[in-house]
Structures are given as C-alpha cells and as structure tokens.
C-alpha cells in the first residue's frame, strides 16, 4: 500500500510492507531521501498477576488492554502457588453463613502472623447442594471474610475468589465428598 502527502515543494511517500514501511521524500520527480523503518510483528502474550492468574495482553504501542484468561467454564486460569492452608468451611462458618466467630478469627490471625508469605490469594469453595449462583456468592463472601481477618493483622491479600461448586476436591455424591468440597484454600505467595 502506498500513501502520498504533498507539501509546497516536496512530496512524502510511504510504502507499507509486511515487515515495516519505507518513507521517502520526492523532489522534482526524484527520490531525495529514503528512510526504511522496520517494524516488529506484535504478538499478544500472557501476563501473570502477582497472585499467579493469567491475563491475555495486547499492546500495540498506543493502547494496551488485558482480559482475564478463563476456561470454558469461566474459571480464571491461575498458576498454583504454594497452597499453605486448606480449611474446612464447616469449621470456620455456620451453615449458609459467611461470618467467622471469635475463636476462629483468632486461629486465622495466628496462621497469617506465622505463615511468613509476602502475599496471599484466598479461594472459597462449596459443595453442590444449592444453586450455582448461590454457591458462587457464598464462596466469594467466605473468601472475603477470611481476607478481612488476614488484613486485620497486616497480611497482604492480592485476590479473593469464590469458585462455588465448580472446582470440587471430591465427589459430591457422598456426604464425605461434600464435606471435603466445603473449604477455603489459602495460597501463599513467597
């Protein structure tokens, strides 16, 4: 593709090719000056957040954007760090609740004071007995409750996520499996 712009006594000509473009100044029908500018083909890449989760990134030099990299089920793709704690939700929360009692707050505070991580990613999970929407909401509220306890002792929380019933640890066909799925996982980022 060729694009020309005319000035008072000279004409600028740009020839765009796949690997860049050539800029030339034409005076009196002759090329007076030619500059070839090589371009690099920009390939979208993946950005990894501090909590290990991936984002698609495109930046053409003028405008950049990121979108979360998710699976077909809508779950963010995250590189697992060190899962430093898995706590059964039944031990932290009453049934269908997202508030933590005083004794469990104290236990969580002690954990966050002694874990020694630079940051934490907190994930809430449920079994499959309620609706998907209800479970997503409940698991997110529970993750946020644990994050609030972490922040109360100065721990840095980089993300909280509620997965509901979408990432089971065991089969939901048995009560033992359902109990294993009702959990809060704490990822330690060191």
Task: Indicate the domain borders of the chain.
Answer: 2-38, 42-79, 82-189
The per-residue pLDDT for 8 is 47
The per-residue pLDDT for 18 is 53
Going by C-alpha positions, the residue among 185, 97, 108 that lies closest to residue 151 is: 108
CATH architecture of the region 82-189: 2-Layer Sandwich (3.30)
Going by C-alpha positions, the residue among 162, 169, 167, 128 that lies closest to residue 145 is: 162
Q: Mind listing the pLDDT tens digit of every residue in the chain (190 residues)?
A: 444 445 445 555 555 555 555 555 556 666 656 666 565 665 666 666 766 777 777 665 555 566 777 888 777 777 666 788 899 999 899 889 999 999 999 999 999 999 988 889 999 999 999 999 999 999 999 999 999 999 999 999 988 999 999 999 999 999 999 999 999 999 998 7
The per-residue pLDDT for 68 is 76
The per-residue pLDDT for 12 is 57
């Amino acid at each position: 593709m060729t694009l020309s712009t005319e000035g008072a006594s000279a004409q600028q000509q740009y020839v765009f090719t796949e690997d860049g473009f050539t800029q030339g100044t034409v005076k009196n029908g002759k090329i007076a000056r030619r500059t070839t500018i090589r371009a690099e083909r920009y390939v979208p890449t993946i950005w990894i957040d501090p909590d290990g989760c991936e984002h698609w990134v495109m930046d053409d030099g003028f405008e950049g954007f990121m979108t979360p990299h998710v699976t077909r089920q809508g779950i963010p793709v995250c590189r697992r760090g060190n899962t430093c704690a898995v706590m059964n939700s039944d031990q932290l929360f009453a049934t269908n609740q997202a508030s933590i009692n005083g004794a469990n707050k104290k236990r969580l505070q002690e954990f966050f004071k002694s874990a020694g991580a630079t940051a934490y990613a907190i994930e809430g999970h449920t079994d499959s007995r309620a609706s998907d929407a209800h479970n997503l909401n409940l698991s997110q509220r529970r993750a946020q409750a644990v994050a609030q306890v972490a922040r109360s002792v100065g721990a840095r929380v980089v993300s909280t996520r509620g997965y509901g019933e979408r990432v089971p640890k065991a089969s939901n066909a048995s009560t033992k499996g359902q109990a294993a799925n009702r959990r809060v996982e704490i990822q330690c980022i060191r």
